[in-house]
Structure formats: C-alpha cells, structure tokens
Amino acid sequence: MEIDFNKNSDGLVPAIIQDAQTKNVLMLGYMNQEAFDKTRETKKVTFFSRSKKRLWTKGEESGNFLNLVDIKNDCDDDTLLISVNPQGPTCHTGSDTCWNEENTSNFGFLSQLESVIEQRRTSADGSKSYVASLFEKGINKIAQKVGEEAVETVIEAKDDNDELFLYESADLLFHYLILLQAKGFSLKDIETELKKRHN
C-alpha cells in the first residue's frame, strides 16, 4: 500500500474510522507514517495527535480501543478508510461517534419503513391507516396476512413474471416487518440471530 504522507507539509493524512459491522463513520483522525506503522503492528488504531504533538493510541486512557480490521487507501493515495471493531464508545464525550449518533445497524429504506410502521402502530387511526388497522385486528390477522403474502410470493416464483414476483415479495417483506413489530422485534433482532448462526 502506497500512501503519500509527503502530500501535506505536516506529513499527515486523514484517517476516516468506520465500524466494520454497522458501516457507520465513528470519527476522523490523522496519521503520519509512524502512526500508520504502529496501527498495523499493534492492531490498535493509533493517530498522530496534532494538539499533543505525539502518537496517540485511541483508548490508551479510556480503554475504548479501536481494534483494526482493515485499511483502505483512496484513489489519490492520501486518505485512509480504516475499518474497526470499536471497544466501547468512540468519542471522548462518551458518545458512540464523534457526531453524537448511536452506532447501530441501519438497513437504509427498510429502517425508515420500520419507523413509519412504528409511528402508525402507536398513533395512527385504524380507520385511516392500513397498518394501524392491522395492529388493531391483532396478531392472528397479521400472521394470516404474512401467510397469504408468502403463498402469493411462492406462486409468482414458479411463474415467469418477474414484475409480479417482485411485487408480491415486497408485500411479503412489508407484512413481515409488521409481524416483527407485533411480536416486539425488529430487523436488528433478525440480524443478531443470523450473525449467531454465521459464527
């Protein structure tokens, strides 16, 4: 790996720290050649502290180390993307990230959809919201809908109409998200279970 530490007069390159599991950005630090070498040697992320004017291993005082998983260099050889397994919160304030965000899994639009379902479950009118009406009818009705959508998805899978297959698959996933919430679970719980099986 070629890194252009001489591009900037101070010999430092930005190091973006990303959680290897959640893919969330945790913090930004700076490395010189010595910090980079120490990081690779110890497997604990080490920066060059511009304020302390010395090498600084994240967690050396708090115990909240950033355990190295992988290092990637960008297309200009002057910025690092470092994947880590964080050992505790990353920010000195005690927050998971230096942007005061929780370092939790995000499933993109599916996470947004989970939030909408939760909002409809807790505060929508069942006469105006399909989702709220399902929750009002109870777990048996919700489970029945998942079963119906599963059967329709299987039927479409056996045919050659990909558009209908995707349509029914979306219906199945949507109703499954409702069922998960009705049982008190979320996609995060499913991810945790799948990770257990993977290990």
Name the average pLDDT for the chain.
Answer: 95
- pLDDT band at residue 45 using 50, 70 and 90 as cut-offs: very high
- Give burial (CB, 10 Å; 0-12/13-18/19+) of 19: buried
In one letter, which amino acid is 119?
Answer: Q
Asked whether the predicted pLDDT for residue 189 surpasses 80, the reply is: yes
Say if 13-86 and 109-196 have the same CATH topology. Answer: no
pLDDT confidence band for 190 (50 / 70 / 90): very high
Q: Which of 1-10, 37-46, 144-153, 166-175 has the lowest mean pLDDT?
A: 1-10
164 vs 8: which has the higher pLDDT:
164
**pLDDT interval class at 77 (50, 70, 90):** very high
Give the residue with greater pLDDT, 36 vs 124.
36
In the chain, domain spans: 13-86, 109-196
Q: What pLDDT score was predicted for residue 63?
A: 94
pTM beyond 0.95, yes or no: no
> Could you give the CA distance from residue 182 to residue 138 in angstroms, rounded to a whole number?
8
CATH fold of the domain at 13-86: Ubiquitin-like (UB roll) (3.10.20)
Q: Is the pLDDT of residue 199 over 90?
A: no
% of residues, the chain, pLDDT over 90: 91
Topology classification of domain 109-196: Helix Hairpins (1.10.287)
Give pLDDT, residue 119: 95
149-171: average pLDDT:
97
Q: Rounded mean pLDDT of 117-127?
A: 93
Taking the C-alpha atoms of residue 56 and residue 60, their distance in angstroms, rounded to an integer, is: 7
Whole-angstrom Cα distance, residue 64 to residue 95? 11
What is the model's pLDDT at position 54? 96
Average pLDDT over residues 16-26: 95
pLDDT tens digits, one per residue of 96-121 = 999 999 998 889 999 999 999 999 99
DSSP 103-165: -----THHHHHHHHHHHHHHH--TTT-HHHHHHHH-HHHHHHHHHHHHHHHHHHHTSS-HHHH
